Amino acid sequence: MVGYVCKYTPVEIIEAFGETPVQLEPDSKSYERAESLLHSNICSFAKGVLENVIDKNIDEIVLTSCCDSIKRLYDVLKQRVKFIHVLDLPRKKDPEAKDLFCSEIKGFIKAYTAYKKRDFSEENLLNILEKKAAKGKKVFSESIAVMGARLKEDVVEKIKSFGAEIINLTCTGEERKFDVEPEGDLLRNYAESLLNLTPCMRMAKDRNILEGKRFKGIIYNTIKFCDFYAYEYAELKEKLDIPLLKIETDYTDAGSGQILTRVDAFLESIGMKKVEKEKVRSGYFAGIDSGSTSANVVIIDENKNIISYSIVPTGPKALESARQAFELALKDAGLKEDDIKIVVATGYGRVSIPFAEKTVTEITCHGKGAFFIDSAVRTVIDIGGQDSKVIRLDDEGNVVDFVMNDKCSAGTGRFLEVMARTLGVSIEEMGKVTEKAREDITITSMCTVFAESEVISLIAQNKDQRDIIHALNKAVASKAVSLIERVGRKGSYMMTGGVAKNRGVVSAIEKRLGEKILIPPEPQIIGALGAALIALEGK
């Protein structure tokens, strides 16, 4: 087998040699070895490829000079594998670019012929290209497009499993179909047809790949430390009138749960995943929000009155905490489990709750709950224990857009908990600080670990504790405001989740927004309330 990564690789030449080209798709769990050979801040895909090449002893690789990370990957692999070749890939496709790429393809053929001690036959190439002849253009239906950087096949499959029809327009999703002129210089014609593939973001040509196509929604993928596609996302976000979801993947399995939550919520918000509506709705309904910090339960009656609620800290076993919270709420309401018609679960632990009939993402639930409390709400800021989200609602209370923080805990409840511990104060005390005492300090690191050492050095400098707390509250606010900017500002605002109880953070966000934020009487139960309402309404 010959490993390759870029779609512009002359895969058909490899086939013409009688070899099997395999597009490398990293599946490493960590980048331990890759990070000792390449820097840790290099694109996670390049690191993943390096890790896999070492793991699987891949000894023939063909690369292109497609990006800085792959060029450095080539430098590293050059000394480690039996055969490696990099083709200089021009970004343009004028006649000079075609000449250049054709000469690069010839260079590769020469190098591989020498390595394999086997001749190359143009006839073989022609046969292969004929089998891959382009047959008219694809017609796009009302489906979901996946765009942006390459996306792991298993993530695509998981998206499909939610019931959505997917059109893969990512950089490597295109089918290899060619329209190569058999007459004349075959290799030059082949080079030309490769350069004519839909341009990726690295190429000079502007790409309008959505022109003439209509989708129900677009899932836009970017890869950690690969910056190319974020530019296109920023452009599309501004001009597209169809729902757009951005996800960031990193070629390890970590974080795929969070990504699937987003995809799930996105499909819910655009009506691709519907919850069946039941005819008779009477009795009591429960919503369970199994979060990273607490398990919250709300029980409502058929008239949407809140009968009882409970908040129980999440212990080592999410299910036990959820069960405990459920029982507590039942007891408060004076009800038995059988009295509850439908239970809907949400939150991170939602899939592990066996007594729930349905699961709905916390994004939809927080939107639902917040709009129920106040129908003027258009932006929900939910800062929980391990993630923060900003949810945009339309005039009917439907979720129309949302953003979430990335994998790290920057700007979340956990961040504040760690800092409270470092400062030796309670989280409640931290929340009371809404103004600076002596000086306006700014915490520059958003990473929890680095911010902690920054706080330690502020303590060492004998800074007023209230000023440090004020700075930390501002840091969380700044992260939240940056999420708000990503969906665009629109009032009224409501804050939900545990951090909404922190007056210091709320006031820092209000200062940045120049607007008041509504805080519900019990901000931690809004997700569970939304789930209970969905149980009642069936949507």
Partner 1 sequence: MDPVKFYASLIKKNMERPEHVKKLINFGLSFAHHYVSLFKDKRVPQSFHFLNKYCIKCVIDPLKHPQNSAWVNLFSPSEFLMAMDIKPLFIEAYSSFMSGFFIEDCLIDAAESKGISNTLCSYHKTFLGAGELGILEKPRLMIATSIACDANIPTFRYLSKKLGVPLCIIDVPYRYSKEAVSYVKKQLFEAASSLEEAFKRKLDIDKLREVVKTENKTRALMKEYLNYAGGKSLQTTMTFEMYMLFASHVFIGSKEILKFFEMLLADIRKAPEKSGKSVFFVHLLPMFEKNFKDYFNFGEKYRIAGSDINYDFLDEIDEKDPFSGIAEKLILTSFNGGIDRRVSRIRELVEKIKPDGIIQFCHLGCKQSMGGVFFIKKLASEMGIPFLCLDGDCVDKRNNQEGQNRTRLEAFLEML
Should residue 446 be labelled a site residue for partner 1 when binding is judged by CB under 8 A? yes
Should residue 42 be labelled a site residue for partner 1 when binding is judged by CB under 8 A? yes
Query: Binding segment for partner 1 among 186-194, 260-268, 384-392, 449-457 (CB under 8 A)?
Result: 449-457
Strands 294-301, 284-290: pairing kind? antiparallel
Binders in 225-284 for partner 1, by CB under 8 A? 225, 227-228, 230-231, 233-235, 237-238, 246
Out of 157, 302, 485, 515, point to the residue binding partner 1 (CB under 8 A): 485
Cβ nearer to partner 1, comparing 9 with 69: 69
Which pair of structure tokens corresponds to residue 125?
């190439």
Out of 119, 123, 183, 206, point to the residue binding partner 1 (CB under 8 A): 206
Out of 61, 67, 210, 526, point to the residue binding partner 1 (CB under 8 A): 67
Cβ nearer to partner 1, comparing 115 with 450: 450
Question: In DSSP terms, which residues pair with 380 in a beta bridge?
Answer: 391, 494
Should residue 41 be labelled a site residue for partner 1 when binding is judged by CB under 8 A? yes
Distance in Å, CB of 76 to partner 1, minimum: 8
Q: Are 504 and 432 in contact (CB under 8 A)?
A: yes
Query: Binding segment for partner 1 among 31-39, 175-183, 368-376, 389-397 (CB under 8 A)?
Result: 31-39
Cβ nearer to partner 1, comparing 133 with 234: 234
Helix 68-77 and helix 44-55: axis angle, to 10°?
20
Should residue 32 be labelled a site residue for partner 1 when binding is judged by CB under 8 A? no
Q: Are 304 and 323 in contact (CB under 8 A)?
A: no
Angle (nearest 5°) at CA 137 between 136 and 140: 145
Question: Which residues fall within 8 angstroms of residue 485, CB to CB, at 6 or more apart?
Answer: none
Should residue 38 be labelled a site residue for partner 1 when binding is judged by CB under 8 A? yes
Distance in Å, CB of 213 to partner 1, minimum: 20
Out of 105, 197, 201, 427, point to the residue binding partner 1 (CB under 8 A): 201
Distance in Å, CB of 388 to partner 1, minimum: 15
Should residue 68 be labelled a site residue for partner 1 when binding is judged by CB under 8 A? yes
How far apart CA 302 and CA 296 sit, in angstroms, is 20
Query: Binding segment for partner 1 among 39-47, 124-132, 340-348, 500-508 (CB under 8 A)?
Result: 39-47
Q: Are 302 and 281 in contact (CB under 8 A)?
A: yes
Helix (H, G, I), strand (E, B) or coil at 254: coil
Best CA proximity match to 363, nearest among 500, 249, 252, 245? 245
How far apart CA 51 and CA 32 sit, in angstroms, is 8
Query: Binding segment for partner 1 among 125-133, 153-161, 222-230, 502-510 (CB under 8 A)?
Result: 222-230
Best CA proximity match to 211, nearest among 239, 231, 192, 234? 239
Distance in Å, CB of 472 to partner 1, minimum: 15
Binders in 455-474 for partner 1, by CB under 8 A? 457
Binders in 75-104 for partner 1, by CB under 8 A? 75-76, 78, 86, 88, 90-92, 94, 96-97, 99-100, 103
380: left (phi over 0), alpha (psi -120 to 50) or beta: beta
Question: In DSSP terms, which residues pair with 388 in a beta bridge?
Answer: 383
Distance in Å, CB of 465 to partner 1, minimum: 19
Distance in Å, CB of 459 to partner 1, minimum: 12
Tell the burial category of 334 from Cβ atoms under 10 Å away from its Cβ (0-12, 13-18, 19+). exposed
Which pair of structure tokens corresponds to residue 311?
């908040």
Question: In DSSP terms, which residues pair with 245 in a beta bridge?
Answer: 219
Distance in Å, CB of 72 to partner 1, minimum: 3
205: left (phi over 0), alpha (psi -120 to 50) or beta: beta
Residue type, 276: E
Owner of token pair 């910056």: 227
How far apart CA 363 and CA 375 sit, in angstroms, is 17
Should residue 198 be labelled a site residue for partner 1 when binding is judged by CB under 8 A? no
How close are the terminal C-alpha atoms of the chain, in Å?
50
Should residue 179 be labelled a site residue for partner 1 when binding is judged by CB under 8 A? no
Distance in Å, CB of 455 to partner 1, minimum: 11
Binders in 356-395 for partner 1, by CB under 8 A? none
Question: Which residues fall within 8 angstroms of residue 66, CB to CB, at 6 or more apart?
Answer: 5, 6, 8, 89, 200, 202
Query: Binding segment for partner 1 among 32-40, 54-62, 118-126, 167-175 (CB under 8 A)?
Result: 32-40
Contact pattern from residue 404 through residue 443 relative to partner 1, giving x for each residue in contact according to CB under 8 A and a dash for the rest: ----------------------------------------
Out of 486, 501, 503, 539, point to the residue binding partner 1 (CB under 8 A): 486
Q: What is the largest CA-CA distance in the chain?
A: 86
Cβ nearer to partner 1, comparing 230 with 427: 230
**In whole angstroms, how far apart are CA 450 and each of 212, 412, 419?**
48, 15, 11
Cβ nearer to partner 1, comparing 17 with 233: 233
Which pair of structure tokens corresponds to residue 403?
């953003």
How far apart CA 188 and CA 206 sit, in angstroms, is 23
Count, residues near partner 1 per rule CB under 8 A: 56
How far apart CA 358 and CA 161 sit, in angstroms, is 16
Distance in Å, CB of 448 to partner 1, minimum: 13
Should residue 515 be labelled a site residue for partner 1 when binding is judged by CB under 8 A? no
Residue 61 sits at φ, ψ, to 5 deg, of -140, 140
Q: Where on the chain is the footprint of partner 1 (CB under 8 A)?
A: 36-39, 41-43, 65, 67-69, 71-76, 78, 86, 88, 90-92, 94, 96-97, 99-100, 103, 201-202, 204, 206, 222, 224-225, 227-228, 230-231, 233-235, 237-238, 246, 444-446, 450, 453-454, 457, 482, 485-486
